[in-house]
Amino acid sequence: MQAVVPWCGVTLPLEHSYAQLPERFYARLSAKPGPLPQMIAVNSELARTLGIDPDSLKSPETLALLGGRSYPETLQPIAMAYAGHQFGGFSRQLGDGRALLLGEIVNTTGQRYDVHIKGSGRTPYSRNGDGKAALGPVLREYLVSEAMHQLGVPTTRALAALSTGETVHREEAFPGGLIIRVAASHIRVGTFEYFSARGDQEAVLMLTNYAIARHAPHLLNEAEPVKLWLEWVIAKQAQLIAQWLSLGFIHGVMNTDNCAVSGETIDYGPCAFMDEFHPQCVFSAIDQQARYAWGNQPSIGHWNMTRFAETLLPLLSNDSQHALEIAQSALATFGEIFHRHYLRLFRAKFGISADATDDDGAAWIKSSLGMMADKRMDFTRFFRALTRHAEDAENRNIAAQFSSHTIAQQWLDDWKSKHNPALIEEMKQHNPVRIPRNHRIEAVIQAAYLGDFSPLEEAIMALRNPYQEIEEFRHWENAPLAHERVWQTFCGT
């Protein structure tokens, strides 16, 4: 039986199914004294999806709980244990070093969500870190994760952002923040690796059963649930990464501890949406080998799934050779699934159909993206201008995306010969008008550091309904001016 605690007044029960797993899966946390945090932003739409009254999040009891100041007796906050391959090297011992799992909400449709707090202070997994988060990265995660959701990408979501009133010391001193993050779960590839690396097969089996029951319960009655689970996770990752690519999104730190088995995007550290398109584009200050560049993400996704499959080998078959064959054939599906989605998404973006004969558009898409990269075109502006041109041939803004009139005309003639006018709605639904560009996020953060939260409010509004043309937010479509450009992003730790 799961513990149910009242929270947010008495209306919201929190459950603790993960905390029912054995003690070696996590560390239990207790409340710490300190000032109450202040609420900066509440995601009312998400709160309602969860069955929470958004105003109740601002009550003193809830603020005390979110800030880790006092917990009702039945609450079981935990820091989850995990390991992970970081930039290719294995770290046996990571875990929630600056976050905690408060509990789980099951909403009226029966969907279970983790409620996580990031920036909540030290845990047994903090190593040398302070367990805190600066307000800037908190706002960044709030805006980008919410934008991803609005763009239709599976992702953890931000329920609220708070300021702690404390100072966090990084290369400079920053105001401290907290983000309340909601996820289908926080089980990572690194959670499986944690137990696998310790030879704890019993725990790998328990985690597998728990994760299947939570994310893919329809597999439980199948003859080979672990094989199907592996295939399920691989398919989710392949599709997710195709979506990232189609939006010019670079995750930035695709370590296996930042790879959620649910198929949601998690860990918004040094992520970025590209302005100018280039497949080798990287923003993360710590990614000096460009391991996690835009165009490398599919192969890294496959690499991460290989690490995941390795943890499941003993569960796939008693015969190690047979287990290897099952894992290899599951991993072989990654490329095919990724390409299918990638082509589907880019055909929709360009408004072209797959040929009934044998042309799936792959070669044409590749050469068009090559042209865009050569000319360093703005990824989002290019596709939206093309969409407007497809809708209204008189709208010639697309030509302005090219540096030469001749090249523009040549490419547009070629495009016209491929374009299917029936796909205009597809184009509109795959080519966003507004994305959370780095320079805009930076401006929100700098204003917030000065105590001005109006740019944050504007950003939240502008990033809602990103596929809709909204006159009031025209300036959000602009690429950064030279002096506004952000060249690097950081982990936020």
Contact 147, 153 (CB under 8 A): no
Task: Name which of 289, 254, 288 is nearest 268 in CA terms.
Answer: 254
Is residue 126 near ligand AMP by the rule CB under 6 A? yes
Is 257 labeled as catalytic in the residue annotation?
A: yes
Nearer to ligand AMP, 81 or 327 (CB): 81
Helices of type H across 288-356: 297-316, 320-350
- The 3 state secondary structure assigned to 133-188 is EEHHHHHHHHHHHHHHHHHCCCECEEEEEEEEEEEEECCCEEEEEEEEEEECCCCE
- The residue within the footprint of Mg ion, chosen from 258, 262, 311, 431 (CB under 5 A), is 258
Q: Which of 237/401 has CB closer to Mg ion?
A: 237
- Cβ atoms of 79 and 125 within 8 Å: the answer is yes
Q: Can you tell me which of 98, 215, 251, 375 binds ligand AMP, judged by CB under 6 A?
A: 98
Size of the site for ligand AMP (CB under 6 A): 18
Q: Tell me if residue 6 falls in helix, strand or coil.
A: strand
Q: How far is the CB of 56 from ligand AMP (least distance, A)?
A: 29
Cβ proximity to ligand AMP, 5 vs 189, nearer residue? 189
Q: Rounded to whole angstroms, how far apart are CA atoms 444 and 437?
A: 11
Give the one residue of 267, 275, 276, 287 binding Mg ion; rule: CB under 5 A.
267
Give the residue, chosen from 53, 130, 391, 442, that forms a contact with ligand AMP under the rule CB under 6 A: 130
Catalytic residue among 114, 257, 267, 378: 257
- Cα distances (Å, whole numbers) of residue 194 to 94, 198, 201, 211: 8, 7, 11, 15
Q: What are phi and psi of 344, to 5 degrees?
A: -55, -45
From the list 165-173, 204-212, 254-262, 379-387, the region that binds Mg ion by CB under 5 A is 254-262
Q: Which residue is nearest to Mg ion (CB)?
A: 267
Q: Contact region for Mg ion (CB under 5 A) — 102-110, 131-139, 261-269, 353-361?
A: 261-269
Q: Which does 80 bind (CB under 5 to 8 A by kind): ligand AMP, Mg ion, none?
A: none
Note the helical H segments in 351-477. Answer: 362-374, 379-391, 397-400, 405-418, 424-430, 438-449, 454-462
Q: Dihedral angle at the C-alpha atoms of 298, 303, 309, 310, nearest 10 degrees?
A: 180
88 binds ligand AMP (CB under 6 A): no
- Per CB under 6 A, which of residues 221..280 are in contact with ligand AMP? 253, 257-258, 267, 269
Q: Using the rule CB under 5 A, give the single segment among 171-179, 211-219, 250-258, 295-303 that binds Mg ion.
A: 250-258
**Binding-site member from 95, 432, 455, 466 for ligand AMP (CB under 6 A):** 95
Task: Report phi then psi at 39, rounded to 5.
Answer: -80, 130
Cβ atoms 42, 58 nearer than 8 A: yes
Smallest separation, CB 224 to ligand AMP (Å): 33
Query: Which residue number, 6 or 97, has a Cβ lying nearer to ligand AMP?
Result: 97
> Which parts of this chain interact with ligand AMP (CB under 6 A)?
94-98, 125-126, 129-132, 253, 257-258, 267, 269, 491, 493
Catalytically active residues, by annotation: 257
